[in-house]
Amino acid sequence: MKSAVLVFPGINRERDMARALKLASGQEAAMVWHADTALPKGTDLVVVPGGFSYGDYLRCGAIAARAPVMDAVRKFAAGGGLVLGVCNGFQILCEAGLLPGVLMRNARLKFVCKDVHLRVERSDTPFTRGYNAGQVIRVPVAHGEGNYEADEETVKRLEDEGRVLYRYCSAEGIVDEESNINGAAQSIAGIVNEGGNVLGMMPHPENHVEDIMGCTDGRGLFAGLAAHLEKAA
């Protein structure tokens, strides 16, 4: 699995992500600077990591979405390449037009930093094949603008087409208002594009891949991607 991790000024999770990718695939990820105009040859997966690109000025991700490297990412995605955006990366993908909707201020207007539970809605995608449908996993969040919103028609289309892959829930898998930590529409934590090859999610699976962290629930996402790409090779 040849991965490329994008690096923008203010991004701070690129090394966490690169480590998770290496643990899953055994290969070092390439670090790609925002001013580059091309991705490394043979790239299988592009990852837009979390952090605070450009200090979150304007709207979160709005400046990064217009960086030179994003044209290469759009071309890569249009050709079916796998793209993963986490936290600020999710915001960037929405601002870049690769995913619908927008990430708004958390409903309670407070930064949320804690472990949350997610329900895996499907297991038949490259981003979820490491889990079972309906499985509940525990991963961290750290964001102030993770409230996913879209117009009613878009949300309905996402639901009807099975494009919601991860949803905030209780430890028992119940989707309710209490478990919806940021007020996201339909408790949405992660969605894919129409082609199913671009995923944006707010939680940080890359921080729960090693035993030393006390939880390895994030490992399934990266193991699933590695297995998918190995099978496709």
Please give the Cα distance from 180 to 165 (Å, whole number).
15
DSSP E strands: which ranges in the chain?
Answer: 3-7, 30-33, 45-48, 82-86, 102-104, 112-120, 136-143, 147-149, 164-169, 188-192, 198-201
Cβ atoms within 10 A of the Cβ of 64, count?
A: 27
Is-catalytic flag, 228?
no
Kindly name the residue from 34, 204, 208, 228 that is annotated as catalytic.
204
Catalytic: 215? no
d(CA 203, CA 206): 9
Q: Active site residue: 95, 206, 208, 228, which one?
A: 206
- According to DSSP, the β-strands at 136-143 and 3-7 are unpaired
Question: Is-contact 182 211, C-beta < 8 A?
Answer: no
Question: Would you call 87 a catalytic residue per the annotation?
Answer: yes
Q: Which of 87, 95, 121, 208 is catalytic?
A: 87
User: Tokens representing 21?
Assistant: 């990718």
- Cα dist from 101 to 144, 152, 204, whole Å: 17, 10, 20
Active site residues: 87, 204, 206
